[in-house]
Amino acid sequence: MGRWLALAGVSGLIAIAIGAFGTHILAGRLAPTALSWIATGTGYQMTHSLALLAVALLSRERLGRSQTVELAGWCFVVGIVLFCGSLYILALTGAGPVAWLTPIGGAAFMLGWAALARQGFILWRQS
């Protein structure tokens, strides 16, 4: 539980810090498209920080401790790094070559949600 709770907290903190930086410091300095990328990144990062919190809570429970829940957590972390990170880099530097990481991060997010759904179906079937 501790690992997932720590990752959720750090990720949420970073999402808020980047969002504030983009809104208060970079507004007027970056193109609207770049600010949109930051907003998209922080929205997805915060959503998946909360998903990591769910993984932390699930991992406390006997029925939630599984490889599927672990997979979901790691997929959310990979998605945050690749999807959100690539959007932040793209917005701040314009480095187009990192754009290919964005859909890989999005696929990691989807796999994470699929893993949580799988665990939910397993628990539902057992009840």
The pLDDT, as a whole number, for residue 61 is 82
Mean of the per-residue pLDDT values for the chain? Answer: 95
Between the alpha carbon of residue 45 and those of residues 60, 63, 66, 95, 116, the distances in Å are 23, 27, 24, 20, 17
For 116, half-sphere exposure in the C-beta direction (CA atoms, 13 angstrom radius) is 20
Mean pLDDT within 97-119? 97
- pTM of the entire structure? 0.95
Instruction: Give the count of domains, the chain.
Output: 1
pLDDT tens string 15-59:
999 999 999 999 999 999 999 999 999 999 999 999 999 999 999
Domain hosting residue 64, numbered range = 2-126
